[in-house]
């Protein structure tokens, strides 16, 4: 008999509206909200959000939801779309490592806009986030890793996460929450090819997921119904986008005892997360055997499938491509000490020193590392110096993963670094304090 996951997930999500907070979980939710703002605020000053905001201004509608791209209030779906785009632009948004989903971008964008529109407080927002992360992370677990070969999980499953969060904020019972998730499942989309080259499609995936998720939640709250077997049916979401009708026993394992939002990866580098093991490995190698970048003759990185297929880019012509180029990110790290926002500034992208170093870097697939993906994200490095010295290192984890999480101080520093240039030091500190311990929602933010 086939497991029916939708009513289980829906009941679990709906219960978060008034369930007691487990010890420490509210802190994890606040950390996720802080990280969302850290990733989002720089994106409000960059394309495609800055292009879309004026283009869609006539569709803003009426409401109290705040679009952080242009500082204007309007309907929640409008704000969710643009804030979701901004949140996924500079590649600093959170990751659920075991499923590959970036839940924060669509979930928080949707939940915050709806909470603002309905005058909810911080507690309601955080509960909706937990519910969205639960649904998104667990459905993503059911369809991975095969789903990620063609589909962008944040675009597809992120829609369900946003719908669940929206349903909680709209007061939906378990049945209507299930309909919201089911409706969202048939609104999904987002192709891998969209970010294997140039273009601005990838950030739009997160924004569209947030907007479509809210549409699904609003429809369900109004009484619109969805297909109850749309997740696991023979022509359902899992069957259409993965190699099976879903690994639902795995997805539901730990439901109610191991919340997804308590096991997040917060990014420590401003690029594709599949490059992180190589960057962390380079830092470890250099700490153990100090060397200068000009001393490097060759660097080879063997990684899991996503690293080899998506991040082996010896040429990177723009910031989008560079954020997915292991060659470029390794060059930036070794020459400038970090891969942060300034690594993708136009002058850096044109730097002939970095370009020359990229030709020294090669990437391959390590089958044994591929087999351990996605729960283990490792890289194997072989670095040869000009004098013939060979340094090797296997990096088993990534800084920021649950095994090596960012401390509160490190997360605060990341927030200050990314939010400070947008809000100014005082504005960033005020927002950080509100998110860490406040009861009111973040509203309009004073620019720096």
What would the DSSP string read from start to end of 120-163?
A: --HHHHHHHHHHHHHHHHHHHHHHTTGGGGTB-HHHHHHHHHHH
**Does residue 208 have a cis bond before it (omega within 30 degrees)?**
no
Question: Does the pLDDT value for residue 304 go beyond 90?
Answer: yes
In DSSP terms, which residues pair with 296 in a beta bridge? 385
- Kindly report, residue by residue over 250-301, the tens digit of the pLDDT: 999 999 999 999 999 999 999 999 999 999 999 999 999 999 999 999 999 9
| 119 burial type by CB count under 10 A (0-12 exposed, 13-18 middle, 19+ buried) | exposed
Report the Cα–Cα distance between both ends of the chain, in Å, rounded: 58
The predicted pLDDT at position 148 comes to 94
Question: Does the pLDDT value for residue 125 go beyond 70?
Answer: yes
- The sign of the dihedral angle between the CA atoms of 436, 440, 441, 445 is negative
Using alpha carbons, select from 407, 447, 414 the residue that is nearest to residue 34: 414
Question: Does the pLDDT value for residue 163 go beyond 50?
Answer: yes
The predicted pLDDT at position 448 comes to 54
- Kindly report, residue by residue over 23-44, the tens digit of the pLDDT: 999 999 999 999 999 999 999 9
The predicted pLDDT at position 1 comes to 47
As a whole-number percent, the residues of the chain with pLDDT over 70 amount to 99
The predicted pLDDT at position 373 comes to 85
Backbone angles phi, psi at 324, to 5 degrees: -115, 15
Pairing of strands 361-365, 296-303: parallel
In DSSP terms, which residues pair with 36 in a beta bridge? none
The predicted pLDDT at position 14 comes to 98
The predicted pLDDT at position 197 comes to 81
Q: Is the pTM of this model over 0.85?
A: yes
- Kindly report, residue by residue over 348-407, the tens digit of the pLDDT: 999 999 999 999 999 999 999 998 888 889 999 999 999 999 999 999 999 999 999 999
Pairing of strands 296-303, 379-385: antiparallel
CA-to-CA dists, residue 21 to 250, 259, 305, 319, angstroms: 24, 11, 38, 41
CA-to-CA dists, residue 17 to 93, 120, 214, 421, 432, angstroms: 25, 12, 17, 35, 24
Which are the contacts of 82, defined by CB distance < 8 A and separation ≥ 6?
49, 52, 53, 56, 67, 68, 69, 70, 207
- Kindly report, residue by residue over 48-65, the tens digit of the pLDDT: 999 999 999 999 999 999
On average, the pLDDT of the chain sits at 96
Rounded average pLDDT over 331-357:
96
The SS3 of residue 296 is strand
CA-to-CA dists, residue 27 to 19, 93, 126, 376, 429, angstroms: 16, 18, 10, 25, 18
Rounded average pLDDT over 77-90:
98
- Kindly report, residue by residue over 199-225, the tens digit of the pLDDT: 999 999 999 999 999 999 999 999 999
């Amino acid at each position: 008999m086939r497991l029916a996951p939708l009513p289980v997930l829906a009941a679990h999500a709906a219960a978060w509206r008034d369930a007691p907070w487990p010890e420490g979980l509210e802190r994890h939710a606040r950390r996720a909200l802080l990280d969302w703002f850290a990733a989002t605020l720089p994106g409000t000053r960059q394309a495609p959000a800055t292009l879309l905001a004026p283009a869609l201004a006539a569709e803003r509608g009426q409401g109290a939801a705040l679009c952080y791209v242009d500082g204007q209030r309007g309907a929640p779906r409008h704000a969710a779309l643009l804030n979701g785009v901004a949140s996924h632009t500079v590649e600093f948004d959170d990751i659920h490592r075991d499923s590959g989903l970036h839940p924060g971008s669509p979930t928080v964008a949707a939940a915050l806009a709806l909470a603002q529109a309905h005058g909810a407080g911080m507690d309601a927002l955080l509960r909706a986030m937990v519910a969205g992360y639960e649904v998104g992370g667990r459905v993503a677990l059911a369809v991975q890793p095969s789903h990620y070969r063609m589909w962008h999980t944040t675009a597809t499953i992120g829609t369900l996460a946003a719908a669940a969060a929206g349903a909680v904020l709209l007061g939906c019972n378990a049945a209507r929450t299930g309909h919201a998730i089911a409706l969202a499942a048939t609104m999904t989309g987002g192709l891998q090819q969209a970010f294997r080259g140039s273009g601005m499609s990838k950030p739009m995936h997160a924004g569209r997921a947030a907007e479509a998720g809210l549409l699904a939640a609003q429809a369900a709250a109004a009484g619109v119904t969805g297909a109850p077997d749309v997740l696991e049916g023979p022509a359902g979401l899992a069957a259409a986008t993965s190699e099976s009708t879903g690994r639902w026993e795995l997805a539901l394992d730990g439901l109610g005892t191991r919340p997804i939002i308590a096991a997040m990866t917060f990014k420590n580098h401003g690029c594709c997360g599949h490059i992180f093991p190589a960057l962390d490995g380079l830092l470890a190698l250099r700490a153990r055997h100090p060397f200068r970048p000009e001393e490097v003759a060759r660097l080879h990185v063997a990684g899991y499938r996503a690293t080899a297929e998506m991040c082996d880019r010896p040429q990177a012509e723009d910031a989008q491509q560079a954020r997915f180029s292991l060659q470029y990110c390794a060059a930036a790290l070794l020459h400038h000490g970090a891969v942060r926002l300034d690594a993708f500034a136009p002058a850096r992208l044109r730097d002939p020193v970095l370009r020359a170093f990229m030709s020294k870097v090669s990437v391959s697939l390590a089958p044994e590392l591929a087999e351990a993906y996605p729960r283990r994200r490792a890289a194997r490095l072989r670095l040869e110096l000009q004098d013939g010295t060979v340094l090797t290192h296997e990096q088993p984890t990534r800084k920021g993963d649950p095994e090596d999480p960012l401390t509160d101080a490190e997360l605060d520093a990341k927030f200050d670094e990314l939010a400070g240039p947008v809000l100014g030091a005082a504005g960033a500190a005020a927002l950080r304090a509100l998110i860490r311990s406040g009861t009111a929602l973040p509203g309009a933010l004073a620019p720096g």
